Structure 1
Amino acid sequence: VAGTLRDALGYRQKKFTLEATDLGIHSSVFFLTFENGPPLVVKVLTSNKRFRSQVQCAEHLMKMDVRVPQILYAYEDRNILPWLRMHIICEERIIGTTLFEMQRTAALIPELTRFFVRLHSITRETWGEVAKPQKNGLFEYFIAKAQRKLHLWRRYDPSASTAFAKKCTDWMKGQKKTIQNIATFSLSHGDPNPGNIIYNNEGDIVLLDIGHIRYFPRALDYYKLLIHFCQDNEELIKQFEGHYLNALTKEEQNLFDDSHLFFKLSVLIDFGENLAKRLIDTRPDHPWHAEFVANLEKIKQAVEEIIKS
């Protein structure tokens, strides 16, 4: 900070505070404040791929007029640990309240769905990473991902049998033609969990942790957001579905209807594998253990309902 950022950001000779946080899974995250300056965030990454992805995604979203933290400076620094490339991102710190910190009520749904309908209305004819568009292979990508996740799910949860996994992949393989015919892909956050959605002090929604941004069929992001926000609250689910789907054009609704169960199943498999892993790391006497068991059973039931459809 003293050697590079202070001069680069125009705070030469200014005092500053740097506070370590426990935020970030793939990066170390610090809160930085210069004397008489706005609050900032400094991220330190060792992965060049993640570094480039975060910078590219931020630039892309800002170009599309989607509100994300503005990157003020990004560079590679070999002076911290000479044998290890450290990639530094300094961005504005969004002051506000995350969706995780808020009580999830129906009052939040109209604005939340409106924001994501607009995000998903940004489309292109190729899928995948922002800087690595792909024309083919979408179906194969999701089949391989489902097989990998189901394998891990069975490892963590013996009750998820081989037969259960086979039913999932067999059903998905039956949708091959439909998935291969998808020709329009939506800008998707990739991980729209409540901690990655923040309302700033002006009341605007800002997306955080944007390194997962991809172009995928909108149903993928839709179901991730719906499950994260509504969980198993039937009233919230009904209102969320109504607000989101009614905002789509007729053409968008048709595209959604054709393939949405395939991507719902993909999301449920992701959630099931993740929850099964958390369950084995949780002692039976832990307060959340019973809730994890119940939620995992609900996911299995939801999967079975799709397979029977």
Structure 2
Amino acid sequence: MSNLAKLDFVALDISGNNYLLWVLDAEIHLDANGLGETIKEGNTATTQNKAKAMIFLRHHLCEGLKYEYLTVKDPLTLWKNLKERYDHLKTVILPKARFDWLHLRLQDFKSIDDYNSAMFKITTQLELCGEKVSDVDKLEKTYQTFHGSQLLLSQQYRQRGFKRYCELVSCLLVAEQNNDILLKNHQSRPTGTDPFPEVNATKYENRNKGHAGIRGRGRGRGTWNTRNDRKGGPREDPRDGSRDRNIVNFCHRCGGKGHWARTCRAPPHVVDSYHRSLNDNKGKKKVETNFADTNESQPFNYDYLDVSDFFSDPDGRIDHLIGDGSVQASD
């Protein structure tokens, strides 16, 4: 019963859209199981083989077709009935396949793979309908449908004298891949320029120097272990977590952060510009630019201010502030 639950190929649909493929798959599987004679005229197959073939064919029918042919018990009869019912599809598929073959052009596809797939799909439909497409026809179809700007290329492929279509397709696929690589290399950067340097790249190399891979000097250096490495050493210092978060690596070569001078990969012009700015700033005091006075004609001294400078009385008297609280100046 487990074999009945598994389909070897797609079951025949009641619409018959997959009839041509179903017939091909059914013939192949029946021959593989030694039951190919059961669907041929004048066969001498045993009753047991006919029953096996009938079980196989009914198992690969949709539920609607099973009920329609419920009374048929001979595999040859079932095969003929399905052929009479769906064989007219060849007359429907054949005109469309011929039309697709007539208008098939290599220049209409973006890649050789797409063209090759369409080629085999059309030729398979033609062969199922009884029309054979030879390698010569496929080669001529390919040669004659190159783009107009590739006329010389088409002639060069024709002069190579390919005998089989697969040989031409293999050559076209290799040429297409080489062209893609050439275009990627050409578009990576302008012609005559060097590759862009990785200025901010950071590289860490653990050279296994010192205790637990930590380089240090003096007493007590390199004694703290990581969380996963506690063999023979003191326990982990709880202050290391906050200390590592506050440490910022500063490069004294290019002035950047995140790496040391010995691992710096900055280009020479960046390094020269940084050192030139350091030399220009030597001996100069830092100027605060929080306030800018644009009135240079009458400079005002802000260092010596008195309380009277904040009142409106020109004589500097503050009697108007005493009494009822009014702010009128005295005469």
Q: TM-score band (shorter)?
A: under 0.3
Larger RCO (CA within 8 A; separation ≥ 6): 1
- Compute the TM-score of the two structures, normalised by the length of structure 2: 0.20
Structure (1 or 2) with the greater strand fraction = 1
Larger radius of gyration: 2
- Compute the TM-score of the two structures, normalised by the length of structure 1: 0.21
